[in-house]
């Protein structure tokens, strides 16, 4: 008799080679998520994944961590035993001993029909035994507890509760993205949504220290740590931005500064994305949330982009984003005060409708390539998690 978690994923669209790739990645991610919990082994079967708990696993902690692994539809704590009705009865009794219930029902499924008893016969035998041993009653319609018996070609599994997983896809199956992480509320949520769709996230942060304090740097490191629950080990690129901002301030009209900062950030981020093998940039922009996020300004940022810029929050309200940030656990860090580099040296009323020609004009006095190279030379890389 052995305790294990039986992990199930949504199988829609998973066929052939794709499916093996997906499953192997999920197995690997489960192993990363369960480091330090004392689990024994993670095993891939043809339709699910088993987490063998062994003697020393912290079952509550394993359960908590599995709830955060992207790509899991649901999972169950199960007891595996021999294909023998006496063994199945004993395992079922042990499996439900800590549950609270007054009525129960047993449901059996056989994937191997050579087992000597039919499914209804197994349910009746095991159900009768449990009712007798626990002093509860059988209820076929609205039982407090359903005990599932599954009989396969080489073992029987007993389980009760189905624990919902987080859904999504295993991190890594959708390639890699470079997330522009600011320290604010939105960009960590944008990162989380992409990670949930199976993208491995690497992060970039621009900071204006010593013109601002170090708060944004400390915050992004903490945010990347929190996102690491789903993204695992993460690379964070830190780019000093103040010198470049000073050049922009000296050379260009004030109303365009925010958009010019964002265009420079995007140019630098693209280079780093290419170095890191990321295929897209991700931002936390949401349509018209602030002056730099009008359609016109988004377009002027997009105009210099060579990689796709993904904006998973573009159609979300601030309230929806805040609710997600609270659920993910990034909200409290994000709301600690910090000064973002984009707010440095900017006028009260930045341009909301800078045209492409006006921006090109404003940039004509800048040595764009030189500024990008200088930023890349001062880049710092950290591995978090």
Name the site residues for ligand ATP (rule: CB under 6 A). 180-182, 184-187, 204-206, 283-285, 289-290, 292-293, 340-342
Report the nearest approach of Mg ion to the CB of residue 321 (Å).
12
235 binds, among Mg ion, ligand ATP, none (CB under 5 to 8 A by kind): none
Asked whether the beta carbons of 382 and 221 are under 8 A apart, the reply is yes
Q: Which of residues 66-125 bind Mg ion (CB under 5 A)?
A: none
Beta strands 309-310; 200-207: pairing state: unpaired
Q: For residue 111, with 0-12 CB atoms within 10 Å meaning exposed, 13-18 middle and 19 or more buried, which class applies?
A: exposed
344 binds, among Mg ion, ligand ATP, none (CB under 5 to 8 A by kind): none
Q: Does 283 bind Mg ion (CB under 5 A)?
A: no
89 binds, among ligand ATP, Mg ion, none (CB under 5 to 8 A by kind): none
Report the nearest approach of ligand ATP to the CB of residue 267 (Å).
13
Quick one: 23 or 222, whose CB is closer to ligand ATP?
A: 222
Q: For residue 290, with 0-12 CB atoms within 10 Å meaning exposed, 13-18 middle and 19 or more buried, which class applies?
A: middle
Which range binds Mg ion by CB under 5 A, 40-48, 239-247, 296-304, 339-347? 339-347
User: If DSSP codes are grouped into helix, strand and coil, which group holds residue 304?
Assistant: coil
Quick one: 22 or 331, whose CB is closer to Mg ion?
A: 331
375 binds, among ligand ATP, Mg ion, none (CB under 5 to 8 A by kind): none
Q: For residue 17, with 0-12 CB atoms within 10 Å meaning exposed, 13-18 middle and 19 or more buried, which class applies?
A: exposed
Q: Which of residues 183-222 bind Mg ion (CB under 5 A)?
A: 184
Rounded CA-CA distance 50/31 in Å is 11
187 binds, among ligand ATP, Mg ion, none (CB under 5 to 8 A by kind): ligand ATP
Binder of Mg ion out of 271, 340, 376, 382 (CB under 5 A): 340
- Dihedral of CA atoms 204, 209, 213, 216 in degrees, nearest 10, equals 0
Residue with tokens 């109303």: 255
293 binds, among ligand ATP, Mg ion, none (CB under 5 to 8 A by kind): ligand ATP
Quick one: 157 or 192, whose CB is closer to ligand ATP?
A: 192
Could you tell me which residues come within 8 angstroms of residue 241 by beta carbon, excluding any fewer than 6 positions away?
A: 206, 207, 208, 261, 265, 341, 375
Quick one: 72 or 181, whose CB is closer to ligand ATP?
A: 181
How many of the chain's residues bind Mg ion (CB under 5 A)?
3
Quick one: 159 or 283, whose CB is closer to ligand ATP?
A: 283
* Cα 240 → chain centroid: 28
Q: Does 182 bind Mg ion (CB under 5 A)?
A: yes
Which range binds Mg ion by CB under 5 A, 103-111, 159-167, 286-294, 340-348? 340-348
Alpha-carbon torsion (323, 281, 305, 238), positive or negative: positive
284 binds, among Mg ion, ligand ATP, none (CB under 5 to 8 A by kind): ligand ATP
Quick one: 149 or 224, whose CB is closer to ligand ATP?
A: 224
Beta strands 156-159; 163-167: pairing state: unpaired
Q: Which residue is nearest to ligand ATP (CB)?
A: 184
Rounded CA-CA distance 30/232 in Å is 10
Residue with tokens 């695992």: 232
Binding site for Mg ion (CB under 5 A): 182, 184, 340
């Amino acid at each position: 008799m052995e305790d294990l978690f039986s992990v199930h994923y949504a199988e829609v669209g998973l066929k052939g080679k794709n499916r093996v790739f997906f499953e192997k990645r999920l197995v690997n991610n489960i192993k990363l998520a369960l480091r330090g919990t004392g689990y024994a082994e993670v095993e891939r079967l043809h339709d699910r994944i088993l987490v063998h708990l062994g003697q020393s696993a912290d079952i509550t902690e394993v359960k908590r961590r599995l709830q955060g692994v992207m790509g899991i539809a649901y999972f169950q704590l199960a007891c595996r035993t021999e294909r023998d009705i006496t063994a199945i009865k004993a395992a079922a009794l042990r499996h439900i001993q800590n549950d609270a219930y007054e009525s129960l029902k047993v449901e059996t499924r056989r994937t191997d029909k050579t087992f000597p008893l039919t499914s209804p016969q197994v349910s009746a035998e095991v159900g009768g035994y449990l009712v007798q041993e626990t002093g509860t009653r059988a209820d076929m319609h609205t039982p407090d507890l359903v005990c599932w018996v599954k009989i396969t070609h080489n073992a029987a599994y007993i389980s009760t509760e189905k624990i919902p997983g987080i859904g999504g896809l295993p991190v890594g199956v959708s390639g890699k993205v470079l997330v522009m992480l600011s320290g604010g509320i939105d960009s960590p949520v944008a990162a989380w949504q992409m990670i949930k769709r199976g993208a491995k996230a690497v992060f970039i942060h621009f900071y204006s220290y010593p013109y601002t304090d170090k708060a944004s740097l400390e915050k992004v490191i903490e945010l990347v740590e929190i996102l690491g629950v789903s993204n695992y080990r993460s690379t964070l690129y830190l780019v000093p931005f103040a010198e470049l901002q000073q050049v922009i301030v000296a050379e260009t009209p004030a109303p365009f500064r925010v958009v010019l900062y964002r265009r420079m950030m995007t140019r630098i981020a693209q280079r780093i994305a290419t170095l890191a093998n990321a295929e897209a940039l991700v931002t936390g922009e949401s349509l018209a949330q602030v002056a730099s996020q009008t359609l016109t300004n988004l377009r002027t940022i997009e105009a210099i982009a060579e990689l796709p810029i993904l904006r998973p929050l573009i159609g979300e309200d601030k309230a929806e984003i805040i609710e997600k940030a609270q659920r993910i656990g990034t909200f409290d860090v994000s709301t600690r005060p910090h000064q973002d580099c984009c707010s440095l040296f900017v006028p009260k009323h930045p341009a909301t409708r800078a045209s492409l020609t006006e921006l090109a004009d404003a940039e004509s006095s800048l040595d764009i390539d030189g500024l990008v190279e200088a930023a890349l030379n001062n880049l710092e890389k950290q591995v978090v998690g």
